[in-house]
Chains A and B, each alone.
Chain A
Amino acid sequence: MKKTYKIEVDCANCANKMEQAAQKTTGVQNATVNFMTQKMTVEFDEGQEPKAVMQDVLKACKKVEPDCEIYL
């Protein structure tokens, strides 16, 4: 399953870091962060509950970039 979320991030490098952090989160098969459109597309592993996984993604992203925001 694939879902797109609106995000807020200030610098391009931070967006790259968020992308890596999201990709490493368990339950996420693949994630891309589009800095220009301020969107994050997350592809979830089979049978994962997006809501729960996104909480972890948010936590991981906050860790690498405290200023970022994901609108769930």
Chain B
Amino acid sequence: MQEIIIDVLLAAVVLTALVFRFYVGTRPDSSMTKKQRVMLERILASSAVLLVLQLIPVTLFARLDEALFPSAGRWLRFALYLADYFLIGYDILRKAWKGILNRQVFDENFLMAVATVGAMALAIYENGDYLEAIAVMLFYQIGEWFQSYAVGKSRRSISDLMDIRPDYANIVQDGELEQVDPDEVEIGTVIVVQPGEKVPIDGIVVEGRSSLNTSALTGESLPREVQEGDEIISGCINQTGLLKIRTTKEFGESTVSKILDLVENASSRKSKSEDFISKFARIYTPAVCYSALALAVLPPLVRMLAMDLSADWGTWVYRALTFLVISCPCALVISIPLSFFAGIGGASREGVLVKGSNYLEILSQTKTLVFDKTGTLTQGVFEVNGIHHSDLDDAKLIEYAALAESASSHPISKSLQRAYGKKPDRSRVSDIQEISGRGIIAKVDGIEVAAGNDKLMEQLGISYIPCHHAGTIIHMAIRGAYAGHILISDIVKPNAKKAIASLKAAGVEKTVMLTGDAKKVADQVAEELAIDTVYSELLPADKVSKVEELLQQETGKAKLAFVGDGINDAPVLSRADIGIAMGAMGSDAAIEAADIVLMDDDPMKIAKAIKISRKCLRIVYQNIVMAIGVKAACLILGAVGIANMYLAIFADVGVMIIAVLNAIRCLSVKNL
């Protein structure tokens, strides 16, 4: 029965190998390396030979005995199998030998060599099952080949995902467009970016208008419009019009280089799980080897000496060899870094840059999330948020306010100008009288307009209606009569409420908001967004001490993350277990200070980052538990003689294949 299964499997291997060799491997986009190609041919040849040998009946060899000399058939059969064994396993044997010479005994090559040579020896002794040794070696090699192919392929596809590196920059020389290495472009050079090309270097648009695709940087598919005078970030793809850009940075200092650097180095910072696995692998293999030795020697001795039974060396040596086959830690060692790498790659595709596997791990344990209000949950720009108690048209009132304040450079005035939307015609304004700390009185189209706070109204003796909203209030009086007030406040980001809810759904237990703003404003925002705790009226230094306080309240494995906009909250970012900077496109300081960088300023991305990290870590743990669990089960079954070498090798290769496939799932994070 077992023989039939193996024969069928061999046939399947031959077929699959043929497909890979002559179909997949010959396609132009095939990522097979030369080494893999050679190995594939060896697998193909030796499995085909093995299959043929299996199909030749043993009686044929027996007939040779009669025709030539006694046991001629036996030796010929052995020679043929041995040739096949060397065909598939010679490199393993060589490496094992080198390993012994270099005193690096306990590696998987050594284990496989000992296990299969041992099985071969047992087979010669019994003139029987050479198949076992060769099959074990063959399937081990298939496993190795698959691992190297799958890892290489996923490595390439992840690298392709992150491939935002521009290959050249266009500069105009003698009236002609010339492609140069972006490294050689000096600051202040004007470069030309044609539609469909990547912007290679950060700069300012000096000519042309176009829409940019920033999705490679931010994961945001909405195009961004740019025109003359706008800053432009490298890594975006120019979609519609020709742009001339004056560079403001060198290539190496540009956003795209910084991001690539960061992502490429990310997987070098190892997580605790990875450390655990490499330590585990270091202990595991020798431990299994010594147990195998003990298994081969001790039970027979005990049987002989203590129990007065026959030693039964063959059985115990076979069990020990089975043990050795299971001892390769490959599934674990490969799948954990692959998971993290895929997770980091997938995240960067979504505009979430993670600086290391360790941060991904910490992020997944985050239970407390601390937000800086301005720029994180709110937009950080003050805008007209409401007009109340006005008899006039809203637009008219804004027009009066904007004109009256047109001479002022105060942020409030700027918000009014923005709300007005047009360039104020200064000639319509006269007799401007700025009353410091109160407001402005001016004549607009000859009509007296007063715009200012409560104190101005009191000074002018005009009764006003106080506002119950939080924010800056500008009371308006026209011709000495109250005309309502304009509310200017920082506006909450459109996705903020949804983001908080989705963070809670993702497993964050506590949300905290820190702000330097007035209590009234802070409380209102917190209530609107359903944030648990608010600390308001904080100075920058207070924020650090608040975070420290919150850090002390943490218990066990729960971690605290701080989200800021990267501007003047660097100390807090580095103090928290994990610092997340958002809206970092183009902000070097934020990229430096944070552990995780969100390329755009959508708060939903925080929830997304946490979900990605959770998924990735879940897969890591699945792989750890599955691989160790299956190995432990096989070890026990092998020791008591239930599992034979076939089961051992299938467990080993099978677990590895499943673990690798599972790890690649980390890449798909789009719909989290």
Contact = CB atoms under 8 A, between A and B. Distances in A.
Contact of B267 (A10, A37, A66): A37
A52 interface: no
Interface string B100-116: 00101001100000000
B281 interface: yes
B108 A36 contact: no
A16 B264 contact: no
B200 interface: no
A17 B107 contact: yes
A32 B268 contact: yes
B329 interface: yes
B330 interface: yes
B334 A11 contact: yes
Contact of B278 (A11, A16, A37, A39): A16
Chain B contact residues: helix, strand, loop or mixed: helix
A16 B265 CA distance: 17
Contact of A36 (B107, B329, B330, B341): B341
Contact of B98 (A10, A35, A37, A66): A66
Given A36-B337, A37-B267, A64-B104, A13 B330 contact: yes
A64 B100 CA distance: 10
B37 interface: no
B104 A12 contact: no
A34 B267 contact: yes
Nearest to A36: B341
A10 B337 CA distance: 14
A11 B144 contact: yes
A17 B178 CA distance: 47
A67 interface: yes
Contacts of A35: 337
B267 A12 contact: no
B504 interface: no
Contacts of B333: 11-13, 16
Given A16-B281, A67-B95, A11 B147 contact: yes
A24 interface: no
A29 interface: no
B402 interface: no
A1 B408 CA distance: 53
A39 B268 CA distance: 9
A25 interface: no
A41 interface: yes
A17 B107 CA distance: 10
Contacts of B493: none
Nearest to B338: A36
Contacts of A64: 102, 104
Contacts, number: 60
Nearest to B94: A66
Interface in A31-72: 32, 34-39, 41, 63-64, 66-67
Contact of B95 (A12, A39, A66): A66
B257 interface: no
A32 B108 CA distance: 22
B464 to A, nearest CB: 65
Contacts of B158: 36
Contact of B337 (A12, A17, A39, A63): A12
A16 B282 CA distance: 9
Interface string B70-97: 0000000000000000000000001100
Contacts of A41: 265, 268
A36 B159 CA distance: 10
A11 B95 CA distance: 14
Given A13-B330, A17-B107, A63 B102 contact: yes
Contacts of A66: 94-95, 98
Interface string B144-182: 100110010001001100000000000000000000000
Given A63-B102, A66-B95, A13 B267 contact: no
Nearest to A33: B268
Given A11-B144, A12-B334, A67-B95, A36 B155 contact: yes
B155 A10 contact: no
A39 B337 CA distance: 14
Contact of B281 (A10, A13, A63): A13
Contacts of B108: 13
Given A12-B330, A12-B333, A63-B102, A36 B267 contact: yes
A35 B104 CA distance: 20
A24 B521 CA distance: 58
A63 B334 contact: no
A67 B333 CA distance: 18
A9 to B, nearest CB: 10
B139 to A, nearest CB: 16
A32 B383 CA distance: 50
A28 B341 CA distance: 26
A70 to B, nearest CB: 16
Contacts of B102: 63-64
A47 to B, nearest CB: 25
Contacts of B267: 34, 36-37
Nearest to A16: B278
B197 to A, nearest CB: 26
B286 to A, nearest CB: 13
A38 B329 CA distance: 20
Contacts of A34: 265, 267-268
A41 B147 CA distance: 24
B35 interface: yes
Nearest to A34: B268
Nearest to A40: B268
A35 B341 CA distance: 10
Please indicate which of the listed interface residues A11, A41, A63, A64 has the most CB atoms of chain B within 10 Å of its own CB: A11
20 contacts: A10-B148, A12-B151, A12-B334, A13-B281, A13-B329, A16-B278, A16-B281, A16-B333, A32-B268, A34-B265, A34-B268, A36-B151, A36-B158, A36-B267, A36-B337, A36-B341, A37-B267, A37-B341, A41-B268, A66-B98
Closest 3 CB pairs of A and B: A36-B341, A12-B334, A12-B333
Given A17-B107, A38-B155, 10 more contacts: A12-B333, A12-B338, A34-B268, A36-B158, A36-B341, A37-B264, A37-B267, A37-B268, A39-B268, A66-B98
